[in-house]
Structure 1
Amino acid sequence: MTVFACAGCGAELTAPVTEVALPPHAHREGADRYLPPLLEPGTFAVDPEPFEQPWRPWSAITPAEAAALGVYAPVDGLWSGPGGAVLLAPGDTRGTALIAERCDGCCASAGDPNLACERCGRTVGARIDDCYLWQAVRLYPRAVRRLPVEGPARPDGDGWTAPPAPPVEPGGWWSDRWSAAVGAALAEVLAASGGAPVAVPRGLLSETFGRTLHRLLPTGDPVRTLGLAGPGFTPAPVPEIALVPRHPWNGAPWQPPSDGAVPVPLDSAVWTYLAFPPLRPTTRLPAGEERDDPLPLRPIRLFEPDRYLLRHRLARLPAVRQPWLRAIYDRLGDRHHQYRAASEGTP
């Protein structure tokens, strides 16, 4: 396990925490309600993307500089500070104090440097808990030190088994986690399609992935197939584009046994629900048996993948430099297209 300490005075700033993979929804923005903590208590993740000043608009960045930062299509701008920020649940901080005048978000703090070491006053990070962001604390890599400490080992097993994340919330809204996970994975599915139609099995996979692929890719006979592959799930045949789980501990994608399959990593909890959906209650019970099983939750609208994360991930794929994929990227960023898609409930 790890404790993070102030690089200035050495004061401990966190409880003991264990490293896990950065969730795919870490960069999601735009929700219109309060979101829960990004990470589970007792865990932390490292964000490799730069997220500190200075902010540079796209017009001030050369293509070579953007490529060096892993960006291959126009974006609004990029942070130029170092990557490697540490993200953890707000409840795992210790010995820190908020800088009140820097908590200037819409309803709370949007992520400006607003967290200081309580002992020496050094700015060490940011508390993020505004109404449209996942709650987290971001510790700046230059302001903290990582100290190994004794603690419980990881649980037994290889770590691939993850509790399934239901796609629909009690109020009938699609899960923010699902919207983010599908949006990020769709970028790599599009790149793997080669710009040709993709066949998607009927059911929840079609509802979440198929409709968007149908709208963004040409019509016609499918050239490739999309499906699931992963531990304990052996499709026959293996799809040419295989949605595989990301390991919850290190983020590595599961590798399908077929050399011809293109693996596309997907949030492990979302993948588990797709691969092993819970048994749905039947409408007819045996004679003499009475139960009050809840019916499965149904969404109140069509599924919409997270457009921000879809474009965010597309911009960071070298394949976006191909004309056909760049055209899709530009189309997703067109404001008129966004308005029309929102009114139709589809991307």
Structure 2
Amino acid sequence: MSIEIDRVNKRFRDFVAVDDASLTFREGELTALLGPSGSGKTTLLRIIAGLEQPDSGRIRFHGEDTTDLHVSKRGVGFVFQHYALFKHMSVFDNVAFGLTVRPRSTRPTKREIRDKVMRLLELVQLDWTAHRYPHQLSGGQRQRIALARALAVEPKVLLLDEPFGALDAKVRAELRRWLRRLHDEIHVTSIFVTHDQEEALEVSDRVIVMNQGRVEQDGSPEEVYDAPANPFVYRFLGNVNRFDAHIHEGSARIGEVTLPAPQYPHHRHASGHAFVRAHDIDVLATADQPDTLAARISLVSVVGPTVRLELVTDQGDTPIHAEMAKHRFNALGLEQGGQAWLRPRQGRVFLPEEATG
């Protein structure tokens, strides 16, 4: 089932939640709506589901206008962040609920319901919990039951709103890998909302980055990470440094360092900003290589096998963040308060009017 969002707008009093959004979700794709709180991603998801009505614009499912169609007739399965399981019902009855409340004319037989529920519980690897109750399950197990319940009605579209947001980091990591494998089996057109960049990049076929109700970028995980459309996307997808840069005929200078800026071949002596991710900065113990910036290490943080550094240069008061392997840090003999030299390997250059996001 493909979905088309055509110039959709939604305002709540003085707050613009969705601002002229136009998107197409392709059939069988798993798409992440990614953005900070208040970016409009959940509102857009609820509009697709029929839980909210747009102020203007149209929603089409497989070419059919569903803008005014009631949520119960859209063929949508919805998974919420907080499970929304019925506490007084067993796991089996929770999953069966959407089938048992159908009109008698379309309701499956008791045997058909039983067989389908057990197949779904096997699919989410929880068939052994059929006679348990939600309070007897872990958070991750409850969320998988919620997903089985959404799939029981054979939805044309599966919508997930921060599905793992209430879980701890380890369970989140396990469940997002599980969701990816599950989607590869069922191939239902799926859209999930998240503010977790790693989650979106790991799980989805496609990432739509939103900010203040607008779509900032739409592309594959590799595209949005490797070629951010603007500074907002660059900042949102990881730890990034911003340097003042001097742009001249396709190159940008940061002190003694030169970065390519091929998108500006005709700009001469222009001011700009270079964005460089923390892991794209080499930290050196000596100044015996060209294109380096002298710096002082103001803070060292060790996180497992990774060392995160905060450094200060003569280029400005804003600290520069760099990351490197712990064994590399130890081999160089670097230490907090000591001298180091920086060499950005790669980055992206923007003009001032582009770099305000």
**What TM-score range do you get, normalising by the shorter chain?**
under 0.3
Higher strand share: 2
- The structure number with the bigger radius of gyration is 2
Give the TM-score taking structure 2 as reference length. Answer: 0.25
Q: Which has the higher contact order (CA 8 A, sep 6+)?
A: 1
Give the TM-score taking structure 1 as reference length. Answer: 0.25
